[in-house]
C-alpha cells in the first residue's frame, strides 16, 4: 500500500515518519517548497525528541519521501491522510479552508479508489463535507471513501505516542476502507477501536476537552488549597490513587496552553452550541484556565509590591517542556502583564527563545534573552518558573541565590521542594500549597 500524508506540520510530519517506520511506502506532501526541501534533507522544522533520527533512517531506507507535487502524491497513493491545519476563527470555530482546499485537490487527481483519512482534529460531521467536496469536484465517478483516524500524539513525546499509541480510533462507513486502515496498523491490531465516522471525530474533541477540564478542576482545587492548609500536590496524589480518577493531568499550575487544548475546547463549545447543546461546563473550564496567569501575577505582586523597573527572571517559555512551541503558552501572557507593569525581564528557555524573540524582540533593556538560568537570575528581584523543563530541576540554586538581587523564587508549576528551597534562604511561593 502506498500512503500520502498531506501537510508536514506536527501531526503530518510525525505521521509520515511513523507510517514509514511501520514499513509502508509514504510520501509526505506539502505545497511549501522550502519546507519540503528542508525535510527531504533530513532536517525537521520543529524540535521534537527522536524525530530527526527516525526521519533520517526512513529517508535512507527509501520508504519515505517528501514532495511538493500534490497531484502526484494523490495519483500514486491508495490512502491519503489529511493532516493540514484547522486553526481557530475569532468565534472559536475551526477554520476548515485548508481541509476544503485539499479535498478539491484530491478530487482533481483522483485516478482510482482511494481512502481519504482525516487525521487533523476536525469538527464532528467534517467527513460529510469532505465527501461532498470530492464528489462535486472529481472529474469522473471514481469511487472513494472518507474515514476518520484522529491523532492523539503529544508534543515532546510525539514519536513514542505515534509508534506506541494507547488506542487507534478508526471511523469508517465501508468494509473496504476499514480493511485498508486495519492493514496499515497491522502491528497494533489489538489497540484498534472501530466506530462510525461521527463517533471517531467526536472522540478526539471529547478527549482533549476532558483533559483540559481535568486540569482546570485541579487548578480550582489549588485555589481552594490556597485558602486553607491543604496541599494541592497531595490532594492530587490522593485523588489520583483512585483508578477511576487516575493520577495523570492533575498537575496544578499556570494552566494549559499549546496548539490543541485551548483550540479544541473552544471548537467543541462552538460545535455543541451550534447544535443547540448547553456547553457552559466547557466555558467554565476555559474561564478557570484564563484566570491562572492573573493568580500567578498576583503572587509576584505580593512579593515585589510594585513591579515598575523591577528586574524579573523567567525560566521556561515553551507551553510545556520538551518542545520549542510557544503557541498559547502561559509565558506570553506572563511576559505581557509584567511588561505592561513596567518590569525588566531576563528570559531563558532551552528551546523556545527563537520563537519568543519574534514576539518580544530582545532590546537588552526591557527584554533580555539569556544563555543560562544563572544569567536569567543575574541581578533579578525575583525569579519565576513558568515551564517545568527537567534541566531546571538540576539548577544550582545556591549559585542562583548569589547572583540575584533578592532571593525570591515564584514557582508556577510547583516544581521545587518548598522546605529545600527555603532552607537555602529563598523566599518561595508556589500555587495551591504553602
Ligand atoms: C495534547 C493531548 O495530550 C494530545 O493527546 C493531543 O493529540 C494534542 O493535545 P499537547 O498539547 O502536546 O497534547 O500537550 P499535553 O501534554 O497534553 O499538555 C497540554 C497542556 O496542559 C500544557 O500546557 C501542559 O503544561 C498543561 N498541563 C498538562 C497542565 O497544566 N497540567 C497537567 O497535569 C498536564
What cell does 99 get? Answer: 481541509
Domain boundary among 162, 195, 228: 195
Query: What is the rounded average pLDDT for all residues in the chain?
Result: 97
Residues whose CB is less than 8 angstroms from the CB of residue 54 and which lie 6 or more positions away in sequence, other chains included: 17, 18, 21, 159
Ligand 1, pocket-test mutation among 158, 211, 321, most atoms within 8 A of CB:
211
**pTM of the entire predicted model:** 0.94
Same domain for 30 and 93, yes or no, is yes
In this structure, which residue's CA is closest to atom 24 in ligand 1?
Answer: 256
How many independent structural domains does the chain possess?
2
Burial of 72 (0-12, 13-18, 19+ CB in 10 A): middle
Instruction: Give the domain-ending residue among 161, 195, 229.
Output: 195
Mind listing the pLDDT tens digit for each residue in 197-206?
999 999 999 9
List, in sequence order, every residue forming a beta bridge with 80; answer none if it has no partner: 4, 116
Phi, psi of 234 (to 5 degrees): -75, -35
323 and 433 belong to one structural domain: yes
Do 40 and 180 reside in the same domain of the chain? yes
Q: Kindly state whether residues 292 and 174 are assigned to the same domain.
A: no
Phi-psi map region of 364: left, alpha, beta (phi>0 left; psi -120 to 50 alpha): left
Across 67-91, average pLDDT = 95
Confidence of residue 110 (pLDDT cuts 50, 70, 90): very high
Do 186 and 276 fall within a single domain? no
pLDDT at 188 over 90: yes
Q: Mutation test of ligand 1: which of 154, 206, 233 has the most ligand atoms closer than 8 Å to its C-beta?
A: 154
Domain with 345 in it: what CATH number?
3.40.50.720
Are 67 and 36 contacting, i.e. CB atoms less than 8 angstroms apart? yes
Ranges of H-type helices in 97-196: 97-109, 126-137, 158-163, 175-184
Q: Within this chain, do residues 168 and 188 fall inside the same structural domain, yes or no?
A: yes
Question: Per-residue pLDDT tens for 371-418?
Answer: 999 999 999 999 999 999 999 999 999 999 999 999 999 999 999 999
Confidence of residue 32 (pLDDT cuts 50, 70, 90): very high
Domain boundary (156, 177, 195) is at 195
Please compute the mean of the pLDDT values over residues 336-360 and round it to a whole number: 98
pLDDT in tens, 303-320: 999 999 999 999 999 999
Under the banding of pLDDT at 50, 70 and 90, the label for residue 364 is confident
Ligand 1 lining (C-beta closer than 6 Å): 151-155, 208, 211, 215, 249-251, 253, 255-258, 260-261, 319-320
Residues 32 and 168 in one domain: yes
Mean pLDDT to the nearest integer, 159-177: 97
Query: Does residue 135 sit in the same domain as residue 214?
Result: no
382 in Cβ contact with 409 (< 8 Å): yes
Helix ranges (H only) for 306-410 are 330-340, 353-359, 373-377, 390-393, 397-403
Do 104 and 171 belong together in one domain? Answer: yes
Instruction: Supply the range of the domain harboring residue 430.
Output: 198-434
CA dist., res. 37 & res. 42, Å (int): 9
Per-residue pLDDT, 325: 95
- What per-residue confidence (pLDDT) applies to 7? 97
Are 375 and 431 in a shared domain?
A: yes
Q: What strands lie across the sheet with 25-29, from one edge to the other?
A: 64-67, 25-29, 2-6, 79-82, 114-118, 144-148, 168-171, 192-195
The question of whether 260 is a catalytic residue gets the answer yes
* Catalytic pick among 260, 337, 370, 430: 260
Give yes or no: residues 283 and 399 share one domain: yes
Q: Quick one: 191 and 203 in the same domain?
A: no
Amino acid at each position: 500500500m502506498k500512503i500520502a500524508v498531506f501537510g508536514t506540520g506536527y501531526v503530518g510530519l510525525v505521521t509520515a515518519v511513523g507510517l514509514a517506520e511501520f514499513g509502508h511506502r509514504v510520501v509526505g506532501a506539502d505545497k511549501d517548497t522550502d519546507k519540503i526541501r528542508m525535510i527531504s534533507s533530513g532536517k525537521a522544522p520543529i524540535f521534537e525528541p527522536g524525530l530527526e533520527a527516525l526521519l533520517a533512517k526512513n529517508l535512507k531506507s527509501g520508504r519515505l519521501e517528501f514532495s511538493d507535487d500534490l497531484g502526484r502524491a494523490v495519483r500514486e497513493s491508495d490512502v491519503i491522510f489529511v493532516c493540514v491545519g484547522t486553526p481557530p476563527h475569532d468565534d472559536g470555530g475551526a477554520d476548515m479552508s485548508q481541509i476544503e482546499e485539499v479535498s478539491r485537490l484530491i478530487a482533481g487527481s483522483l485516478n482510482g479508489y482511494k481512502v481519504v483519512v482525516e487525521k487533523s482534529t476536525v469538527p464532528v460531521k467534517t467527513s460529510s463535507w469532505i465527501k461532498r467536496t470530492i464528489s462535486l469536484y472529481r472529474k469522473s465517478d471514481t469511487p472513494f471513501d472518507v474515514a476518520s483516524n484522529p491523532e492523539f500524539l503529544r508534543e515532546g513525546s510525539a514519536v513514542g505516542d505515534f509508534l506506541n499509541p494507547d488506542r487507534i480510533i478508526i471511523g469508517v462507513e465501508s468494509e473496504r476502507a476499514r480493511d485498508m486502515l486495519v492493514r496499515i496498523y497491522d502491528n497494533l491490531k489489538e489497540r484498534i477501536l472501530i466506530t462510525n465516522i461521527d463517533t471517531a471525530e467526536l472522540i478526539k474533541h471529547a478527549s482533549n476537552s476532558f483533559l483540559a477540564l481535568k486540569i482546570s478542576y485541579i487548578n480550582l482545587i489549588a485555589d481552594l488549597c490556597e485558602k486553607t492548609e491543604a496541599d494541592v500536590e497531595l490532594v492530587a496524589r490522593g485523588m489520583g490513587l483512585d483508578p477511576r480518577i487516575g493520577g495523570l493531568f492533575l498537575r496544578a499550575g499556570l494552566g494549559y496552553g499549546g496548539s490543541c487544548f485551548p483550540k479544541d475546547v473552544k471548537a467543541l463549545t462552538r460545535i455543541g452550541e451550534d447544535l443547540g447543546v448547553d456547553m457552559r461546563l466547557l466555558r467554565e473550564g476555559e474561564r478557570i484556565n484564563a484566570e491562572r496567569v492573573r493568580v500567578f501575577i498576583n503572587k509576584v505582586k505580593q512579593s515585589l509590591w510594585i513591579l515598575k523597573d523591577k528586574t524579573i527572571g523567567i525560566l521556561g517559555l515553551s507551553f510545556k517542556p520538551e518542545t520549542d512551541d510557544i503557541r498559547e503558552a502561559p509565558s506570553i501572557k506572563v511576559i505581557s502583564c509584567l511588561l505592561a507593569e513596567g518590569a525588566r525581564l531576563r528570559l531563558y528557555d532551552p528551546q523556545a527563545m527563537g520563537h519568543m524573540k519574534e514576539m518580544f524582540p530582545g532590546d537588552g533593556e526591557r527584554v533580555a534573552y539569556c544563555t543560562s538560568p544563572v544569567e536569567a537570575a543575574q541581578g533579578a528581584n525575583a525569579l519565576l518558573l513558568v515551564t517545568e523543563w527537567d534541566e531546571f530541576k538540576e539548577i544550582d540554586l545556591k549559585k542562583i541565590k548569589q547572583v540575584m538581587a533578592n532571593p525570591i523564587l515564584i514557582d508556577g508549576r510547583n516544581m521545587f521542594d518548598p522546605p529545600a528551597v527555603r532552607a537555602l534562604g529563598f523566599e518561595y511561593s508556589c500555587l495551591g500549597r504553602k
